[in-house]
Every structure is written in C-alpha cells, then in structure tokens.
Amino acid sequence: MPTYTPPLRDMQFVMHELLKVVDDFKQMPRHADIDADTINAVLEEGGKFAAEVTFPLNISGDVQGCTIDQATHAVTTPKGFKEAYARYIEGGWAALSCDPEFGGQGLPLVVNQCFYEMLNSANQSWAMYPGLTHGAYAALVTHGTDEQKQTYLHKMTSGEWTGTMCLTEAHCGTDLGLMRTKAEPQADGSYKLTGNKIFISAGEHDMAENIIHLVLARLPDAPVGIKGVSLFIVPKIRVNKDGSLGARNGIYCGGLEHKMGIHGNATAQIVLDGAVGTLVGQPNKGMNAMFVMMNAARLGVGNQSLGLTEVAYQNALAYAKDRIQMRSLSGPKAKDKAADPIIVHPDVRKMLLTAKAYAEGGRALLCFSAMLLEKELNHPDEKVRKDAGEMLAMLTPIVKAFITDNGWTATSACLQVFGGHGYIKEWGMEQFVRDARINMIYEGTNTIQSLDLLGRKVLGNNGATLRKFGKLVGALVEEEGVNERMAEFITPIAILGDQMSKFTTEIGFKGLQNPDEVGAAAVDYLRVAGHLVFGYFWARMAQVALREIDKQSAAGGAGSIDPFYLAKLQTARFYFAKLFPETATLMQTARAGAKVLLDTDAALA
C-alpha cells in the first residue's frame, strides 16, 4: 500500500526562503498581518487532513468509481467521499482563500495552492469536487452581478454548494465556437437552456446539496463562432429569492464516462432540457468570464500533476531503499545482505531524481504563479497589478503543459522503479500514472497550451513579456556571474536566455511566411521555455542553499549543515546536468520546420 507525507519543509523553503512571500504580503493591505507561523500552522493541519482523511480513500475510490441511477440521474460517489467532504466543510477548508465578504477566511492564494497540492497527492479524484468550485467562485467574483454574488457565493465559499464549468460538446471539443447549446430569453429576464455537454468533471454527485453549473451557450441572435458565446449560471436546484432551495432545474446527468483514470470523480454527460439560467456578464462575451475559471483550472491542473509527481516520488524512493536486487557495479554496498538495495544503481537514481527535480521545480513555479495572481488581484500599485497579470498570463500555459508533461514522465519513471510490482494495483503506482495522463489532455490539451504560449503570449506581443522574464534571468546572472560556485547553474540559463531571443525571432519570421511553422514548433518551444523557467528557479534555489550551507558551516562546522540544503544543491546539479540539456535537442527539432510534418500525404495515406 502506498504512503504519503506532506512535503511541508519544502513548501516552507519555497515560500519563506526562496520567494519571501511575507515581505510581499506586507505591501498588500489585505494580507499585511499574515506571518510565516500562521501559514505554516495552517498547512500543517491541511497536510493532516490530506494524509489522514482523503489519502486512505484514493485506492478504494479508484476501484469503486462512481455510479449513476439511470431512473433518477443521481450519482453516488465512492464510499467515504461524502463523509470526507463533510469534514472538509467542518474544518473550514473550503473558505481558506475566499473573500471574508462572502464568509471566507481571506488567507493568501499561495496557502490554498499548497493545500491543494497536498490534496492532489492524496486523492486527485476527490480534490476535483471542491477544486472546481474555486474556479467558478473566481469567475462570479469578477463578472457576477451583486445579486448573483449574494445568491451564490456565500454557499460556494462555505462548500455547501459546489461549482462546475460546462464547456465541451461532443462535436467541438476545444473549438468552443462550434457549440450548439441554446439559451432562449424569458419574459422575467432569465433564460432557458437546451443542449448537451460532455466531460464535465464533478458534474453530478451526492457530496453537496446543490451544484452551480457555469454553462456556455448561444443566444438566438448570437454571431457565429467564439464571439457569439454567452455564459450562464444554471443551478442543479433552483434558488429562491430568500436563498432557500426550490424546484429541481432542468439540468441532469445523462451518463458517466468510463475512463482510464480519476475513477473517483464523476465525469458527467450533462443534459440541459429547458434549464433555467441567468446571464453572467454581457451577452456574447461569455468567454471573457469563462477564461477566469479556465485559467484557474489550468493552474489547478498543473498542481494536480505536481501532487502526483510528489506522491509517486515518495513511494518510489521508499521502495528503492528497501528492495534488494543484484549488486552495485562498483562492488557490494550492503555486505550484510544477499543483494544491494536498488537505490545504488545509477539509473534508479536517475529516475528518482527526475521526479524529485520536477516536483520541486514545479512547486517553486506554482507558488510563484500564485503570488503573481495575488499581486494582480490585491496589490495597491496599478503597475504591479498589470505586470503581474501579464507575467501570469505567459506562465499559465507553461504551468499547465510543462508540469503535466513532466508529471507523466515522473510518475512513469517512479512506476518503473518498482519493476513488475509497479504494474500491480496494490502498490498504487499504476493509479498515479493513469490519473496523471488526463492532466495533459483536459483544460486545453498541451498542444493547445503550446500554441497559446507561442502564438498569443510570446509572438502576440512581439516577445515583450518573455523579455520581462528574461530580465529576471539576467538580474540573477549579473548577481552571481562571478561566483564560481554558482557557475554550473548560472552558465546554462545565461546561455539559454541569450539563445531564446534569437530562437523566438526565427520561429516568428518563419511563421509570418507560413503559419504552420508556428504549429510545428510550438510544443518543442514550450518545453524550451519551461526549462528556462525551471532553470531560473533551480538556480535561485541553489543560490539559497549555498548561502545557507556557508552560514551553517561558518557557525558550527560541516557537521552542523542541515541535510535539506545539501539535498537541494545535489538535486539542482542533477537537473542542470541531466534534464536541462534537453533544450538543445528541442531547439533543433523545432527548427526542423513544418515540411517534414505536412509533406507526408503518402506516409499518412
């Protein structure tokens, strides 16, 4: 059976030693009183909830899955899920980072980010039920009317009601401009919606008393394409003027998808049959509001793969230390045993360190992203808000695609550490792999994210935001450029930073002549950009570790050095030696162009 220990020490390192989040909070009146001890105490309790309440339900939830009563359309979640959700509400976890105006605790978003990483490690399927509510909440906070906020947000903040996003239809997938769901205006100002949606995570369940669906649909006179899409609130159970629950709405689950993974989450086919809804925002401007939820979901999906990478790594590491098999090539290491533990073998260590490097790099990026979102929403300086939002927009597709690609690589590697036992269900590893695979697909496939990054976020503003990130890299290079002990970390990012400008310009010029060149290069380009971002954070983490090692060594000698910092430094060295060099191959394959992909009619006949 797998185990899970919340990585609280590394979370504290990222927040307090790397990012120094409390210093940033002091600049924001909303969080000026938040201190490190408060953050640490909350996350310690959150880790206990994840490890003790939801983690024990992960394998059983995967085995049982969700069931639907076809007569009533009611969906039952796996045994224990509903009770765990009740404890989640009782503990106030749903309200952690929500606005006190709606009953929230008002804690910083990075705290919620770290809490949800632990929930995703413990049980991704379960965490999706409350997790999607945060995105729906954010969309309504930004675009809802005062009446809509008062009607829905208090109950969503408390967790009594959950939320979903209903976008996809069977015939259109990501191309939402092709959707057919209709919204007919009614005399009382409401709308009646008719249509079908698929792949709706947490679309129907028995864990909360109401589900607030955010549904994309077309008005009768809507323009064709994406510019004719509007957003509507469609509650499962209609809400009366006084806030009490009324009649069952005409929205229900027509069936559940039979999936490769995340079996404990109800992925619903949703039928709208004259369902009553209210408009969110302006007519035909639904994507503006929905993108708030979609971008939150993309950050959340990156966090899902971070959680799976961490828990897979922990279990693979424990197994590698315990499993004895063969002898080390350089001679016996465990002479009192019949064979050496497999952790002595170089390639086993490579697999473990790959997962560790991707987990810790991903944690740094996601916490940094959460702080950018915090600044965008709450910093008093308008320029800081604008710059933070712009940077976050560029990093969002990297968070979603790079971290989920890495999660697939890492969980697969960790399964491989187990050998044949990794393929056996009882060890739990094959579930981590299956669950990780969906994260590369939903909330916009990773190819869509790559096109978004290169086409919109980089070339769309002539690389302006990329250059701003480049200035962060440049500042670190200038600060540590003469420090020989930092050279192994600084030189690679300095070189790639210089190459990135030329590489981007080259792809951009080719794209002007033939747009397919952008499509051909985009996936490779995103991985190069991802490594530049990870490289920057790994160099900074090595910088912090080296300084702390020097400080501790000077104070008490080599024996007084905290092994945590030695581990951080060793992992940084591995990342730059074994993973970062992938960028050279990626730039070469990106430059290979579109012809070898599109001039292939005979090959694909």
Distance between CA 130 and CA 93 in Å, rounded?
10
* 443 is a catalytic site residue: yes
Q: What is the dihedral of CA 539, 540, 541, 544, to 10 degrees?
A: 120
Distance between CA 85 and CA 91 in Å, rounded?
10
Distance between CA 336 and CA 239 in Å, rounded?
70
**20: which residues sit within 8 A by CB, 6+ positions away?**
none
Helix (H, G, I), strand (E, B) or coil at 283: coil
Specify the amino acid at residue 132: L
355, 364, 325: which is closest to 341 by C-alpha? 325
**Distances in Å between the alpha carbon of 339 and those of 194, 325, 326, 327, 345?**
65, 5, 5, 5, 12
7, 6, 5, 17: which is closest to 537 by C-alpha? 17
Distance between CA 445 and CA 463 in Å, rounded?
23
Distance between CA 27 and CA 380 in Å, rounded?
8
117, 310, 374, 443: the active-site residue: 443
Spatial contact of 323 and 371, defined as CB atoms under 8 Å apart: no
Output the CA angle 584-456-507, nearest 5 degrees. Answer: 35
**183: which residues sit within 8 A by CB, 6+ positions away?**
191, 192, 193, 217, 218, 219, 230, 232, 277, 279
Q: Which tokens sit at 451?
A: 């096109």
Helix (H) or strand (E) holding 264: none
Spatial contact of 466 and 390, defined as CB atoms under 8 Å apart: no
Scan for tokens 């747009």, then name that residue. 515
Helix (H, G, I), strand (E, B) or coil at 309: helix
Distance between CA 465 and CA 426 in Å, rounded?
47
Q: Which tokens sit at 21?
A: 């989040």
Q: Give catalytic residue positions.
A: 443
